[in-house]
Amino acid sequence: MADRVPSLSTDQVAAFVELARHGSLRSAAATLHLTEQGVRNRLIALESRLGVTLYHKERGPRRRSPLTRQGEQFLPHALSLLDRARRLCDLFTAAGEQSAVHVAATQYLTTYVLIDAVRAFHRAHPGIRVRLSTRTERDIEDALRRDPDLTLGVAAPYDAGGDFVYRHLFSLDWGLVTPIGHPLGGRRDVTLADLADVPLILFERGSTGRQHILDAFHGASLSPRVDMEATTTAVIVQMVEAGLGVSIVPLMPNGAVTRGRKVRVRKLTGQIRLIHSGILTRRGDELDSAAEAFVRFLGPTTGPKAEGNSPPV
């Protein structure tokens, strides 16, 4: 007797994925250009086919996710099903049509690595377009779980767990950035103890970089004095240049982070965990030829910059 294959439609699965991505029927309906009842009908049909409850229907306190435990379990399979359906359609794409790779990256990697890398990739592969968007580490991982259109992320993993495959690109050590004339900027050796009572400008809460710094201070039984926060390294360096404080940031060995800024840099070698950056993809996904070409291109493009992980002073 042949195994029973449930009759699922991609429309039903897409409705479920959009609900998971946006968190509400209203937003899912707007994205799919349907009424809320239309989305609800597709979800009811999907749950009936699968024989489980996929999302919470009762009103109550706002949850982080509208999905039930079974819904969370089904989500990666739903994403995979839609991805494979998309690839089936791509088999018959006109030969002259461009392929696209949707990449999400952090502000740091976008600014100091990917802008140049994507420009060079477009020259080398004119038939493939990279759609680049900038997000936080946590947002990248959340989008990979919920957005089937996102091909891969380039980031320092925040809490990837077992959902993703990580391909390492490079590691960076940390440096202290001070305004010109600041006493610490003239010292040869600076330790975390020297910074314990100094006003610091750090990355925003929830970022991998901030966690690395706090872990280092706490590991040395120190409590840092965080006076200001910023989302991007470029803004942090600008704030330091303006004399608002000092900061600890990962610095590219080519000096790109502080180039043109009136600041001084001192190494903090070995005092804070190296920050590792690489490519995140969904576990179980098979990248198409365009995405694989971009991944292969990033390796040699970014690799040489990672040699000798200590930033210049």
Domains of the chain: 10-90 (1.10.10.10), 99-171+276-306 (3.40.190.10), 174-273 (3.40.190.10)
Q: Is 206 helix (H, G, I), strand (E, B) or coil?
A: coil
Structure tokens at 262: 């009136």
Task: Check residue 312 and give its pLDDT.
Answer: 29
Task: Check residue 248 and give its pLDDT.
Answer: 96
Structure tokens at 1: 């007797």
Cα–chain center distance at 10: 27
Lowest mean pLDDT among 154-168, 170-184, 250-264: 154-168
**Angle ∠(21,22,27) on CA atoms, nearest 5:** 140
Give per-residue pLDDT as tens, 208-240. Answer: 889 999 999 999 999 999 999 998 899 999 999
Question: Is the CB of residue 146 less than 8 Å from the CB of residue 77?
Answer: no
Q: For the chain, give the mean pLDDT.
A: 85
| Confidence band, pLDDT 50/70/90 cuts, at residue 93 | low
Residue 87 has pLDDT above 90, yes or no: no
Using CB atoms within 10 A of its CB, is residue 7 exposed (0-12), middle (13-18) or buried (19+)?
Answer: exposed
Q: In this structure, which amino acid lies at residue 102? A: H
Mean pLDDT, range 18-44, rounded to an integer: 87
Mean pLDDT, range 158-179, rounded to an integer: 86
Give per-residue pLDDT as tens, 48-60. Answer: 989 899 998 876 5
Rounded CA-CA distance 234/178 in Å is: 14
Torsions phi, psi for 197 (to 5 deg) = -110, 15
Report the DSSP beta bridge partners of residue 178.
264
**Angle ∠(19,21,24) on CA atoms, nearest 5:** 40
Residue 264 has pLDDT above 60, yes or no: yes
